[in-house]
Amino acid sequence: MAEAAHERIRVVVLFGGRSSEHAISCISAGSVLSALDRGRYEVVPLGITPDGRWVRMPDDPALLTIRQGELPSVDGSGAEVLLRPADGASVLVDLAAPSAVRSIDVVFPVMHGPWGEDGTVQGLLELADVPYVGSGVFASAAGMDKGHMKRLFLAAGLPTGPFEVVTDRQWSTDRAATLARCWALAQPPGLPLFVKPARAGSSVGITKVRTADELAVAIEFAREHDPKVIVEAAIEGAREIECAVLVDNGIPRASCCAEIVVKGDHEFYDFDAKYLDDAVDLIVPAVLDADVEGRVQRTAIEAFEALDCRGLARVDFFVLPDGSVLLNEINTMPGFTSISMFPRLWAESGIEYPQLIDTLINDALRRGTGLR
């Protein structure tokens, strides 16, 4: 039986998923749940288990936090549901009681990594005819794949550092030539390289290498997360700068900038430094000359538009000692944890967390579904 009309905006917060970033998605979702105004929104937390089942979750942000060093997850104990279009709307159907349907107004897919941030869930939501927060299918897919992302940057005339892509076929059929091609990035000799899965995030599977022998091991490690790998030349002497983009009333805006400074024994901004070891100083706002900050902000919006992004993104940069700016990557669904850069940047720029969530949901409702 269909339900009666509802007054509050019914928002599904979708999180978890099958990627290696399952736990980070859960933590981000916990922060979003904490910020949503229950007077304005009827909140429906919906988790995706590591094996891909969609289940109802309790509306309790405390369940989605790191507790005693243990990362949260979707355990699959909730009622299983499916999403489908119905009479020009979209509804959730409880598989245990198929006649009971629940209409929804908008989805906030707080999904990170493959099978969530890469266009797959976005395509499903398009087919279900439900508005959703964030970029569409193409931008999500391109933003997830670092190789395609950087090629789109280059095609748009945007500055990015030297890189090589290693495909599964190349690694399987001509390993020696592939290693030689990648090692040529280490110019001048001795320059470190970063080896990454092409389609993963949260610094999962990344290695910093300094010798040719380490390179093959690092590629094999990255391939545990993705058969496609990207190898990048280290940008020596660069500062790591981030800038957030938010669409407000149809217009993309750039936030102030922030700087990441890794401390302690961590050589770079890896998973443990980000989430477990408190090994990073996040300087918000970054101390930059006004012209450099303006260049970063303009380039952030240009990168956002080059990929045809929507809603939001975090754009990562290297700023060299001479003030020149290089694009590193764009993240179409940045982290929303309590320590994540995206909400911190907007708070510093005058938009607090609850208003940020409202702006994103309003943009999704304004845009609707399809190519609008």
pLDDT value at residue 196: 94
The residues with which 329 forms a beta bridge, in sequence order, are: 316
Q: Which fold is adopted by the domain 163-233? A: Dna Ligase; domain 1 (3.30.1490)
pLDDT value at residue 108: 97
Cβ atoms of 257 and 268 within 8 Å: the answer is: no
pLDDT value at residue 1: 44
pLDDT value at residue 101: 79
pLDDT value at residue 113: 85
pLDDT value at residue 275: 46
Domain range summary for the chain, segments of one domain joined by +: 9-132, 143-160+236-367, 163-233
Query: Look-up: residue for tokens 């290498």?
Result: 209
* Superfamily of chain region 143-160+236-367: ATP-grasp fold, B domain (3.30.470.20)
CB atoms within 10 A of CB 367: 18
pLDDT value at residue 333: 94
Nearest Cα to 75, choosing from 111, 48, 43, 110?
Answer: 48
pLDDT value at residue 171: 97
pLDDT value at residue 267: 56
Q: What values do phi and psi take at 131, rounded to 5?
A: -65, 150
pLDDT value at residue 280: 72
* Architecture of the structural domain at 9-132: 3-Layer(aba) Sandwich (3.40)
Query: DSSP string of 294-342?
Result: HHHHHHHHHHHHHTT--SEEEEEEEE-TTS-EEEEEEESS---STT-HH
pLDDT value at residue 72: 94
Alpha carbon of 303 to those of 151, 160, 327, 328: distances in Å?
Answer: 12, 11, 8, 10
Tokens of 362: 């309003």
Q: What is the pLDDT along the chain (372 residues), one digit of tens a residue?
A: 455 557 899 999 999 999 888 999 999 999 999 999 999 999 999 999 999 999 999 999 999 998 888 899 999 899 999 998 877 678 888 888 877 778 999 999 999 988 999 999 999 999 999 999 999 999 999 999 999 999 999 999 999 999 999 999 999 999 999 999 999 999 877 789 999 999 876 567 899 999 888 999 999 999 998 999 999 999 988 999 999 999 999 999 999 999 998 765 545 554 444 544 455 788 999 999 999 999 999 999 999 999 999 999 999 999 999 999 999 999 999 988 877 899 999 999 999 999 999 999 999 999 887 655
Question: What's the full length of the chain, in residues?
Answer: 372
pLDDT value at residue 175: 96
Rounded Cα distance between 372 and 367, Å, is 6
Rounded Cα distance between 29 and 18, Å, is 15
Cβ-in-10-Å burial (0-12, 13-18, 19+) of 284 comes to middle
